[in-house]
Every structure is written in C-alpha cells, then in structure tokens.
Amino acid sequence: MIGFEILPRQRAVAASHVAEFRDLPVANVSDVMSRMAAGGAALRPMHDGTGMAGPALTVRCRPGDNLLVHKALDLAAPGDVIVVDAGGDLTNAIIGEIMVAYAARRKLGGIVINGAIRDSATLRRGSFPVYAAGVTHRGPYKDGPGVINGAISLAGMVIEPGDLVIGDEDGLLCVPYKQVEEVLAATRAKHHVEEKMMADIAAGTLDTGWVDARLKALGCQGL
C-alpha cells in the first residue's frame, strides 16, 4: 500500500558527534546555521529540560494514529531519537507515560512528536527527552497507515533518517548528516566567543562599541 511501509535506515550520524553536540546550546547551533532551520516554536520540551541529541529515526503517521510509532520503538537502536510527524494535530495523543517508559528502558535518545502527548505531569517530572506540540487526554488509534524512515518535515525543517536531532529548553533543531562536522566546528567557535563575552561582562570590560557603529552605518540620527 502506498504510504504504508517500513524502510531501512541507510546511515546515521556518528556517536562521537552526538556526544559533542550534547553539551552545546541549540541556540549556538541555530546561529551558525544562519537561523534558517527550526522545527517550529510549537514543539516544546515536555520533560524536565534535559538535553537531547541523537540520530533521527523518522515516522510519518496519520494524525491521531500511533501504530507505526509502536513499531519504531522496537526498531530504534539505543541513542536514537524517534521523530514523528503526526501533522501537528492535537486531537489525539500519540504517546504517553507507558510508551515513554518503554523508550527509556530501551535507552533511546528521545522522542519528538509533531502532535500531542498525554500523561504530561509524569513526563514533566522525568528526564527522558520528549518534545511535542501540545497535550490532550484523548488517546490514539492504531490503524495506520504511515512510513518509518522516510523524509519528514516539521514546520519546513526537513529531517532525513540518520540526521542529527538536538534539543534543549529553547527547542529543537536538525543538523543534516552531511553538514554535521562543519556545523560542529562553527558551533564550537561561536560558543567560545559567547563564553568570552560572558567573562568580559563579569569583569566589566565588554566592548559595546559595535552598537553605535552599526547605528551609524544604518543612518540613525542623533548619535
């Protein structure tokens, strides 16, 4: 049936890169990616804010149906982040406490739901990373169809199976597989600059001369 299939994942970002991104702010990664990629402001952490990083195992399902998500939980390897495009619909929850407990027991890296979750109080007390667009008590259906390990899009951000998915309290972001090393190097440099700025603020030596220079270049009057 068209739109109802399980595909093999052909590649995945290296565990060493996953570990290095885990300690970097998502905002820094976003900045070096020209602030052009985002999964949408609606996708928020539903857990205690613990950082998330791991290779994507993608799922596209019909809004309100989680049959393929259950299968993805069994297919995912330790460290994988299951990313589910459920159409952003908030009518029915795609996952809840039981599925998250199972994912944590299997040592997955996290779950992203472009849709709703339930059992939110329990999930918020936990450290297992869960991102979603909303909460509802209404449960899901289990009829399909859906696709595992196909390309998906969250608010225009394309995610391919094996891409790096990262998240923190500011939201989440996908780093394409082929750009991981370039983005990592640029993010390290950006983070170093910001650490130096924080040190200068603490020492009272931060140079803010760029503000007037920028205003002058833009033709601002009254300087």
In the annotated binding site for Mg(2+), the residues are: 119
Sign of the alpha-carbon dihedral angle for 108, 113, 117, 121: positive
In whole angstroms, what is the distance from residue 111 CA to residue 100 CA? Answer: 8
Sequence-ordered list of residues with C-beta below 8 angstroms from that of 85, at least 6 positions apart, any chain? 58, 59, 60, 61, 114, 152, 153, 154
| DSSP three-state, residue 169 | coil
- Contact between residue 181 and residue 187 where contact means Cβ atoms under 8 Å apart: no
Tokens 């996290």 -> residue? 110
Q: Please name the residue that has the structure tokens 């290095």.
A: 20
Residues with Cβ within 8 Å of residue 3, at least 6 apart in sequence: 145, 146, 147
Known binding residues are: 96-99, 118-119
Which residues are annotated binding-site positions for substrate? 96-99, 118
Which pair of structure tokens corresponds to residue 146? 């859906």
